[in-house]
A and B are shown apart, each in its own frame.
Chain A
């Protein structure tokens, strides 16, 4: 059993749980996830490790009520016990001193699990449920000395989470809401496209991998120049799959390297079952062990969108059952 030391509502549908799991906290790195199973009958739910505190021996998860399992989990209070917590799983976002040109020009690193470090300017894009999963990556990139521009969005102002935390670590922060109740009206992609357009107009057309090796001598110099004037070196997007697809399409046109953190349906999270398989660069990858962070321009998002619906009919049954229980509780 794993004790919840802090349970907090961040919005009416977003919950934060800080859980005692010393070994997970000790091994955790930004970008990794864990799996929780609330009770004997619960599903195994993969959630990004939003934060960890090795001294306190705790890990923090933040999630939106978006189905039966997360609704049950959202009912947990401080002092309650979670039956199972396992992790850290997946690969972390590499924030070591990986040189930019390696990441951009080495074919072998195309599908690598992530990179970061001194990349320069990173645009971190998070939509709805993706913001808590974006937060640890943005934090790590900032800590590694990058300029961080954040774009975070939600359906409506009341559902926007971690705004202060993201602002605190970002050089620039842009907010979007679908209904316009806060920030720019529309989707996060609107702000991202604006930034991409602006950098292009300012004469920072991004360095697209050259077809030949002829420019080799000149390009590394340019790569290592830290941008102060809007040049975007990297985009990281986390959110619903259609949003990540839109981000990938937007940045592809500008040739900006883009990473996404995928959230396919999982069971074990250790590479044992293949439930989370996703096609990346024409190859089948298991998001739990090969990811969850992938090169956005290589991901087959349409397949992923279809695969997210594998259990939809059954989930509706469960939701109906959940709603029933929920009403009973409200009646008491």
Chain B
């Protein structure tokens, strides 16, 4: 923090003291708004090293405290500055099993980069871009994590842990538990891995090849993944204990779409963002008819909501051929929960934003298809419990947006499939599983939970942080249970293994 440090840092790299933050090349807005290729192209090697050299290597790094998974940020950046990318990825993977994903989708501007000391002097170190570079470098050069990361898992403990859901929380917990020597099986409801990384975040923001790569890494740690297994339907948590699992981590995600509850929401042409994105991403409907799941997008699309999911839906609709896409958000731009970069990208691509606007009903034609959406203008009143100024309707300000497609992206509620099939598992009045924020422990011994199913819809990295903390707590729990104690629950159903 002393004024001498930037100069020293600059000298060490042989560069001027005030190097600008390195910009990441991108596909041009015109071109990219009609394809599903990744928008951001990643820093070139030279730029990455320059960017790494901007780091002051603070003695008490505040960035590290800003990271939900506690990455040694100065450490990996120093390695990059030393051109030792293998060491850099090793340091990253020591704490973060999914660096290529976090480097792309983390809201760094509200986490590590927000608390970088350079913010006071201008722009923070582009930590996310550096993380992405290191992960992509590894993918290209095929160097497994070493020099800082114990690539070899700890000796086998003989304990078995079941993880429900292969999204960011589940993958993180599974990876960490495997590194600790436990035998881990992930149960995934869908036919493919990744949870929201697969069905929610579009290809142009997070290529699925990267999700595949990160999942392969988790599997390489010894984690088994069983697809097509809906916990709560195919098997219950009690079944899992009966099969010999000693602890369960529930990371099933939020997974139940919230609608506006206004007239016309069941008209044809109205989607939940979950349905729209799942069709486009998981089912690859953007490649219809090569892939057989259809998706219908009209000419004029309204997306209701202001989060990352709304941005993803809007930009996907554009890429699927919509002529005009309008984001309708009831607060102002300042209150939007989406990442700054996503809002910026959406604007560049020509997405129209109507702030302080709230839909009141969706109007249909005689055949049951959307023809328009009636909205009300809002103004900001006093702050509400979230600290944001509450939007208040402006009387008599109704107006009509001519649209043929409406995508509702106002959030998710807790999916009750797991909780309703698990006796003794406490939930909140919203249906979220009640879990200790530090350990993920629930009201059932041996059952832990984390991510959106506990917190409500949040971010990839927060789910990963919860997975990390739960893995630590489960490890402690397994040690305390010991090898000679019986599992905490058993069910009469025999634990036969499946043939797949």
Contacts and interface: CB of A to CB of B under 8 A. Distances in A.
Contacts of B46: none
B227 A272 contact: no
B400 interface: no
Contacts of B291: 41
Nearest to B268: A310
Contacts of A248: none
Interface in B170-191: 189-191
Contact of B255 (A68, A271, A317): A271
Nearest to A314: B294
B275 interface: yes
Contacts of A270: 189, 230, 233, 255, 415, 417
Interface residues of A, number: 47
A307 B294 contact: no
Contacts, number: 122
A303 B368 contact: yes
Contacts of B367: 306
Given A23-B234, A267-B283, A310-B296, A272 B415 contact: yes
Nearest to B258: A274
Contacts of B229: 23, 86
A43 B295 CA distance: 11
B278 interface: yes
Given A1-B500, A315-B294, A274 B274 contact: yes
Q: Is the interface of A mostly helix, strand, loop or mixed?
A: mixed
Q: Is the interface of B mostly helix, strand, loop or mixed?
A: loop
Interface string B16-34: 0000000000000000000
A42 interface: yes
B234 A27 contact: yes
A314 B279 CA distance: 13
Contacts of B113: none
A275 B415 CA distance: 15
Nearest to B287: A41
Interface in A266-317: 267-268, 270-275, 277-279, 284, 289, 303, 306-307, 309-311, 313-315, 317
Given A84-B191, A267-B275, A307 B498 contact: no
A274 B270 CA distance: 10
A167 to B, nearest CB: 33
Interface in B464-500: 493, 496, 498-500
A86 B292 contact: no
A266 B104 CA distance: 31
B443 interface: no
B293 A44 contact: yes
Contact of A314 (B257, B267, B288, B417): B288
A309 B283 contact: no
B291 to A, nearest CB: 5
Interface of A: 1-2, 20, 22-24, 26-27, 37, 41-44, 68-69, 83-89, 267-268, 270-275, 277-279, 284, 289, 303, 306-307, 309-311, 313-315, 317-318, 321
20 contacts: A2-B500, A22-B496, A43-B283, A43-B293, A44-B191, A86-B230, A88-B233, A272-B415, A274-B274, A275-B271, A275-B275, A306-B267, A306-B268, A307-B268, A307-B368, A309-B368, A314-B295, A314-B296, A315-B294, A321-B289
Q: Which 7 A-B pairs have the closest CB atoms?
A: A306-B368, A314-B294, A273-B275, A86-B228, A84-B191, A311-B294, A274-B272
Given A24-B234, A44-B191, A272-B415, 12 more contacts: A37-B191, A43-B292, A86-B234, A87-B230, A271-B415, A272-B257, A273-B274, A273-B275, A274-B274, A315-B294, A318-B294, A321-B289
